[in-house]
Amino acid sequence: MGTRTMALDSTFWVAVSFFIFFGGLVYLKVPQKINELLNKLILDIKNEIDESEKLRTEAKMLLENAQKKLNTAQSVSNEILKQAKKDSDRLIIELNDKFHKSSEIKKNSAQTKITQMKDTAIKEIKNTSVKIAIESVKKIITTSVDKSKLDTLFQKNLEETKEELKKINS
């Protein structure tokens, strides 16, 4: 029985020390402090979650604003491109019209110059022909000789006329 009492005594003393330990914990308000610490940690975590939710909401709003600005910028860019295309098309049409008008004016001017040059050349040919004819008549009158000499003189004057006309045409 003596061992049993000893075993009982050691169990008893373990139980007593266990109750004393928990009594000390309760006396020192350790469970309350642990509870307060846990409540504080829970509150901190809850605040961090609330803060992150707020940040997520702000980020979502910023993203929506950025998307709106991007859409606005794209529509403005499209408008600018459309206007630039209209302006360039109009400019091309204007330049084309100016080119055609200018080429028409140059063509008319060239035709006028060609007509004037033709008229001048025809007048010169006529004047030269008249001069040659008058000189031929003078020579015929001054030399009034027989028919063979007359034919030779005519041939000679004809050759001179041809030579003069060649000079004028070239």
Q: Are 132 and 160 in contact (CB under 8 A)?
A: yes
pLDDT in tens, 59-69: 999 999 999 99
Report the pLDDT averaged over residues 40-46. Answer: 94
- Asked whether the CA dihedral 107, 108, 113, 119 is positive or negative, the reply is positive
pLDDT in tens, 112-166: 999 999 889 888 888 888 888 888 777 766 666 566 666 777 788 888 887 877 7
pLDDT cut 90: percent of the chain above it:
39
Give, as one character, the DSSP assignment of residue 28: T
State the residue range of the domain holding 133.
Answer: 2-169
Distance of CA 12 to the CA centre of its chain: 96
Q: What is the pLDDT of residue 3?
A: 56
The more confidently predicted of residues 55 and 21 is 55
Question: Count of domains in the chain?
Answer: 1
pLDDT above 70 for 52: yes
